[in-house]
Amino acid sequence: MTNDEDDSRRFRPGCVVIPSSFVIRHSSFRAAGAFTIVELLIVIAIILALAGLILATSGYIQTKSKRSRAEAEIAALSTALENYKADNGIYATDTANGTTNTLDSRTMFNPASVQYAAASLFLYKELSGDAAGSRVPTGKSYFSFKPNMLFPKDQTQAVTAIADPFGYSYGYSTTNQATSTKGYNPTFDLWSTAGTGVGSTPNPTPHEHWIKNW
């Protein structure tokens, strides 16, 4: 075969001839653009750290919001109680069943207890004018309760307690009027445990975490 014949084969129309000395290594391109395992682990660690910070910040904001709402509700309920006293001469006190004198804010820390529920139910009935607890006021109302402030959340059922933003009953007590060694205020104690004290007595004493009127 002559050189001319060889060249004619090498340079046929429509053919692209690449010199044999120029070799494309696809594997080298893949290696240059890939992540190593160490790099992937670093990226994952950064993502997890950022997610943790976001969750922690979100939890703090939610707790802060709940505390602010509890403070506002306690202030509003206290004002309603003052108006109640102006009309009735005394603060709302359960003289018939003693529920507001039974609950002692000095020693009773569990907001899921029956004492909390009974005392706050009495407070609801007196301030709302709904003596039956049926969510339909028939008497004078000193406070307009929003649905999210009442237990149960099902509005077709009778009210069982006043709910704080943390999902437990508000505490309401007039026990100090009867016994000076119980409770704190000679008027009334009104508080939210801010979700503490459920199921057992917290340590240390939980009052520093409560939202309260004393």
Domain boundaries, the chain: 69-212
pLDDT of residue 62: 87
Q: Which residue's structure tokens are 């309603």?
A: 80
pTM of this prediction exceeds 0.85:
no
CA nearest neighbour of 195 among 120, 132, 135, 111: 111
Distance CA 180, CA 186 (A): 8
Is residue 159 within 8 A of residue 130, CB to CB? The reply is yes
Distance CA 201, CA 208 (A): 14
Q: What is the pLDDT of residues 29-86, one digit of tens each?
A: 455 567 799 888 888 989 988 888 888 777 788 899 999 999 999 999 999 999 999 9
